[in-house]
Structure formats: structure tokens, C-alpha cells
Structure 1
């Protein structure tokens, strides 16, 4: 299934959603820099501040 939605990029992205007692993984298309560790849109996982021991993601 594929749907288009508008998301608030100031909030962390969700990796899963539940609908009618079913859990679905979410894949994001068209976002240039997405960190799948902290789910923020402004860096890749290789540059994630959480993985480097910093407290707040950039």
C-alpha cells in the first residue's frame, strides 16, 4: 500500500503505524537527509549526534 501524507518535520518521524489492530512499517520517500536512528530530518545516521554521544540531535 502506498499513501501520501503531510508530516511535521519538526517532530521525529515514526517508523511504524497501527491501523485496525495491524502494525505497518513506514518508509519515507523524497526526503534528502533522514536519520533512522533518532528519526530526525537534517542528518544521516552516520552523523547522528545520539550515536556520537551528544545529548541533543542537531
Structure 2
């Protein structure tokens, strides 16, 4: 998570957000996050994707 914060401070906002979301998706034990784990990790790989 610290790497994500450092990227944000270096104005690498997209990469920072991608890393933070991926970390949460891969490490969280929260039941709500775990229910959407695959979607969260997929979203972290392409933040600009739009699904209808």
C-alpha cells in the first residue's frame, strides 16, 4: 500500500489507484470484497474500461 501512496505523491494517479485496488482485491478478508474479488482485480487492470 505504501508503494501506491508513493506513486500518488509522484502524481502517477492511475498507477497508484491500480495498485491500491489490486492490493485490496488480493489481500482483503472482508466478506464484501471477497464476494467481488475477481471483478475488483479485473477492474484494477483497466480502470478506464466501461461496461454496459
Structure 1 length as normaliser, TM-score?
0.21
Report which of the two has the higher share of helix: 2
> Which of 1 and 2 has greater Rg?
1
